[in-house]
Amino acid sequence: MPRAIEDVIAAARDFLGERITTNVALREHHSHGQDPHKPHLPDAVAFIETGEEASRLLALCHAQNIPVVPFGAGSSLEGHVTPVRGGISLDLSHLTEILDVSQPDMDCRVQAGVTREQLNEHLRDQGLFFPVDPGTPHCTIGGMCGTRASGTNAVRYGTIRENVLGLTVVLADGTMIKTGGRVRKASNGYDLTHLFIGSEGTLGVIMEIQLRLHPIPDAISAATCQFPSLKGAVETVIAILQSGIPVARLELLDELQTQACIAYSKLEGLEPLPTLFLEFHGSKAGVEEQARQAEEIAASYEASSFAWAMDTETRTRLWKARHDVYWAVQGLRPGHKVLTADTIVPISKLDDAILGVKEDIAGSGLAATVVGHVGDGNFHTVILVPPEPDGMDRAWALDRRIVARALALGGSCSGEHGVGIGKREFLEAEHGPEALAVMRSIKKALDPRGILNPGKIFLN
Ligand SMILES: Cc1cc2nc3c(=O)[nH]c(=O)nc-3n(C[C@H](O)[C@H](O)[C@H](O)COP(=O)(O)OP(=O)(O)OC[C@H]3O[C@@H](n4cnc5c(N)ncnc54)[C@H](O)[C@@H]3O)c2cc1C
């Protein structure tokens, strides 16, 4: 181990004690996320419990040019948390305090390691909820800020970006700053809060987050709707969105994904056909009316079935199945890895994009499903990577083709998973060299020594 990192670990022991460790199992756990990229061990893992500890550790690392990679729950999908240049994996999972909840203002302040599930459990009795819902219940709010996460509810409530009001952040040299505040809007200078949202741990370490909350709706209904063709399902999505029905969730599963969910989640009453999962929030009469309108639209695109329910048990089973799609796909071909493309296009281009991707999959000779948050124009292609020497190369080639198609349609390489390692090569094509140069200069201003999560977002 080089001298500089040994010095940092020794100095950090003074205030972290055993919470900075070179234990091999812990380093291994922090060497990768939920992704198919090559893992890389950090030199040490530090579990911090206060802002002051984070400041002191970052100041030490800054002085010695030691990389620091923030780590929430490690559920990100693009190699984000892999310490490709070693250094310290800065684990924030001990920061689990919900600091303040204001029912009248419908907001709260949480530490970065609070999980989405923990927060909603805490809020339930107060009639409030935090709507941003990535598939992983254990992911941290800090990590969700890191990746600018969203999920199934974003079509109605927005992504994490729309639900963060302010932050406390420790910068690369250990300086702590506060951004934003508690007000719903402000016209008061550069928007630093949203600069950190989606910065993937490359600009600062988020310690606290001020969040917007929402009232739990009086009534919720969920529906499933099946189609003989994928085209009918996609056209129904576009028509529902254009009709202005305030749908809360609108998810598409192609026929292979539906088949995988029926098998993995024991879903009853569904055929292996293209399927929409929908959810409506509002008053009892309101959700009944929304479901009826959606059913009428689906019928005009030749839906073969439309079933809806208001009981909690049916809804929970349905959304648990939706959140388990990743594992359901793995269940189709045990021994295969999974690579997930995360493209997004303007709503009017959804049919071109999804039907084109189905052609890309067929041309690749690989098995892959299409599933996603089509209410936002965002969908995933979940590619099964064959356990053969060229398996990963073939999967990446398909991923590239899918991204190129999205970009050509005015879309993006990532709707919600982020850039990490996997999507770096597309940023110049998507933003242009001038905008990318501005991003680099922001990175340089906030992290002049390049110690924060190096090797991510930018190719070099
Ligand atoms: C099965 C499955 C389904 C998923 N579905 C969705 C989905 O529907 N929508 C979606 O958006 N995502 C989804 N994801 C991806 C993932 O859950 C999100 O990326 C999540 O936001 C990451 O949270 P985390 O706590 O695991 O962060 P990590 O993976 O630990 O970190 C993510 C990034 O944020 C940085 N980071 C972490 N904490 C901080 C902090 N406090 N300050 C600064 N930077 C930090 C890290 O350095 C890293 O770059 C899914 C993942 C899986 C495995």
- pLDDT digits 0-9 by tens, 303-360: 999 998 888 898 999 999 999 999 999 999 999 999 999 999 999 999 999 999 999 9
* pLDDT classification of 202: cutoffs 50, 70, 90: very high
State the number of CA atoms in the 13 A half-sphere of 14 facing the CB.
8
Q: What is the DSSP string of 195-243?
A: HHTT-TTSS-EEEEEEEE-EEPPSEEEEEEEE-SSHHHHHHHHHHHHHH
Q: Which residue has the tokens 């805490």?
A: 122
Task: Read off the pLDDT of residues 278-312 as tens digits, 9 standing for 90 and up.
Answer: 999 999 999 999 999 999 999 999 999 999 888 88
Identify the weakest region by mean pLDDT among 98-112, 304-318, 416-430: 304-318
Ligand 1 lined by 73 (C-beta under 6 Å): yes
Same fold, 3-93 and 333-420: no
* Ligand 1 atom index nearest CA of 199: 44
Separation CA 62–CA 228 (nearest Å): 58
Centre a 10 Å sphere on the Cβ of residue 313 and count the other Cβ atoms it contains: 8
* Ligand 1 atom index nearest CA of 112: 41
Q: What is the pLDDT of residue 445?
A: 98
Q: Which CATH class is domain 333-420?
A: alpha beta
> Which distant-in-sequence residues (6+ apart) come within 8 Å of 25 by Cβ?
none
* Ligand 1 atom index nearest CA of 160: 11
Separation CA 404–CA 170 (nearest Å): 36
Residue 332's φ and ψ, nearest 5 degrees, are -65, -40
Q: What are the structural domain ranges in the chain?
A: 3-93, 98-215, 219-326, 333-420
Q: What is the pLDDT of residue 1?
A: 74
Mutate to test the pocket of ligand 1, among 30, 68, 75, 153 (most ligand atoms within 8 A of CB): 75
Separation CA 279–CA 421 (nearest Å): 34
- Collapsed DSSP state (helix, strand, coil) of residue 292: helix
Q: Show the tokens assigned to 153.
A: 């509810």
What's the whole-number mean pLDDT along residues 351-371?
A: 97
Q: Show the tokens assigned to 117.
A: 């599930």
Most distant CA pair in the chain, distance: 70
Q: What is the pLDDT of residue 268?
A: 86
What is the CATH number that goes with domain 219-326? 3.30.70.2190
Helix (H) or strand (E) holding 165: strand 164-170
Q: Which candidate, 287, 297, 261, places its Cα nearest to that of 382?
A: 261
pTM for the full predicted model: 0.96
b/e per residue 366-399 (b: at least 16 CB within 10 A):
bbbbbbbbbbbbbbbbbbbbbeeeebbebbbebb
- What is the average pLDDT score of the chain? 96
What is the CATH number that goes with domain 3-93? 3.30.43.10
Topology given in CATH for the domain delimited by 98-215: 3.30.465
What is the distance in A from the centroid of ligand 1 to the CA of 75? 5
